[in-house]
Amino acid sequence: MSKRRFGHIRQLASGRWQASYVGPDGLRYRAPHTFPTEKLAEKWVRYEEGLIETNQWVAERSKATPFFGSYCEKYIDTQTNRYGELLKPTTKHQYRTLLRVHLKRFHDLPLHKIDTTTVREWWSEAIADGKLTSRSRAYKLLSSTMSRAVEDKHITHNPCTIKGAHSAETGKTIVVPSAEEMKRIIDNINPRYRSFTILLANSGLRFGEAAALEHSDLSMRELNGEPTWGVSVSKATALIDGAIVVQAPKSRASIRDIKLRPELTQTIAEQKQSTTGNESALLFPNASGGYIRNDVYTNSFRRALKKAGADLRITPHSLRHFAGSEYGRTGANVAELSRFLGDSSKEAVLRYLHATDRGDTLLGQMRFVG
């Protein structure tokens, strides 16, 4: 053990360093964890000494606070949405990925050791590669976890104060296929996925919502005097750690009943006929009768893009944008588009409104004043 004017530091048999000091109340306080180097142990002692010298030291404050990694795990497990419901499995999985990949710098830090300077240093290093969107999501998880720590009285304030970090985006462009490209993609997709692809391009359904459809989710309706299918959307599939899970859709607005275009009536009828079974049978099963996997479908979709000579930046999610753009092109307002896509966020809905080639038509319809 080495002696110093304030505090004590000693090296353990494991090679790590332990630090402690005697507080103003005469009690000994040990660091909540050991350190890999003597320098880091000394830094902790000096920090505590500074709190005492500036009258910021409080006995409760100096007691060990949870490590960020374990505390964030608990936060993910117990956090609720605005309806008081626990987070969905996919959301928990996304958060744990952010924690593991982007927030590992904080894992072994006690909550009270994460200050504004530490957060700013991490942010400046994290965004050096220009990938703002994923880093912003990680920052929001860090910030919300620290807000919970304030509520639990582990810390006195949230150190996440970086302006703009909550809304930073890389600005990745969503490439929406033209109607001609969409037709070529459908013609070149694996026949097993043809009906599925047609549905995605015309319904605005998310991949997981379409993949989870069962026979019982469809019923015959009428649209402008023509027979059409009505679809009840109440669940969605998701791929988590290589396994398919079925859960509630993205939001409450996503739980909806929609009508399909009459042009789809025959296509869906034939699909139902080819997957005959009980009412709980999947409408779009994979080759083994289970749920279509997003990654498997994406591989087939990419092959179709090449065969079709389409823009290789088009993704399966682009089909939802295609449907949204087509619906918006008819003159649908934001509220109508929101209902069609099953998304309550105005900002999210606006992302599905892409520019069209109607500029001349719209200009000609303007009233001239002069």
Cα–Cα distance measured from residue 157 to residue 276, given in angstroms and rounded to the nearest whole number: 59
C-alpha span between 248 and 85 (Å, rounded):
11
The whole-angstrom separation of Cα 158 and Cα 112 is 10
Rounded to whole angstroms, how far apart are CA atoms 108 and 309? 50
Averages of pLDDT over runs of 10 residues in the chain (370 residues) are: 74 89 81 87 90 78 75 96 91 96 93 91 94 95 96 90 91 88 97 97 96 96 92 96 92 92 94 84 94 96 97 96 87 86 80 60 58
Q: What is the pLDDT of residue 356?
A: 53
Q: What are phi and psi of 228, to 5 degrees?
A: -150, 170
HSE (CB half, 13 Å, CA atoms) of 173?
Answer: 8
Instruction: Select from 187, 170, 171, 190 the least CA-distant residue to 179.
Output: 187
Q: What is the DSSP string of 81-122?
A: -TTSPBPPHHHHHHHHHHHHHTSGGGTTSBGGG--HHHHHHH
| DSSP letter (8 states) at residue 249 | -
pLDDT on residue 4: 66
What is the predicted pLDDT for the residue at 100? Answer: 96
Helix 194-203 vs helix 179-188: angle between axes, to the nearest 10 degrees?
A: 160
Dihedral over alpha carbons 249, 255, 256, 261 (to 10 degrees): 0
Q: What is the pLDDT of residue 369?
A: 67
Residues 6+ apart with CB under 8 A from 138: 98, 101, 102, 103, 126
Complete domains list, the chain, with CATH = 8-62 (no CATH), 68-167 (1.10.150.130), 179-359 (1.10.443.10)
Whole-angstrom CA distances from 327 to 141, 277, 354 are: 34, 33, 11
* pLDDT number for residue 366: 64
Phi, psi of 213 (to 5 degrees): -65, 135
pLDDT at 280: 83
Distances (CA, A) of 18 to 63, 108, 126: 15, 15, 30
User: CB under 8 Å to 23, separation ≥6 — which residues?
Assistant: 29, 52, 57, 59, 62
Asked whether 312 and 302 are in contact (CB, 8 A), the reply is yes
Helix H, strand E, coil C: the string for 170-230 is CCCCCCCCCHHHHHHHHHHCCHHHHHHHHHHHHHCCCHHHHHCCEHHHEEEEEECCEEEEE
**Whole-number pLDDT of residue 233:** 97
- Give the pLDDT of residue 365: 62
Nearest-angstrom CA–CA distance, 359 and 365: 10
Distance CA 203, CA 226 (A): 17
Q: List b or e across 266-305, with b for residues whose CB sees 16 or more CB atoms inside 10 angstroms.
A: ebbeebbeebeeeeeebbbbbeeeebbbbeebeeebeebb
H helix count then E strand count, the chain: 15, 8
The CA-based diameter of the chain, rounded to the nearest angstrom, is: 90
Task: Please give the structure tokens belonging to residue 229.
Answer: 């299918």
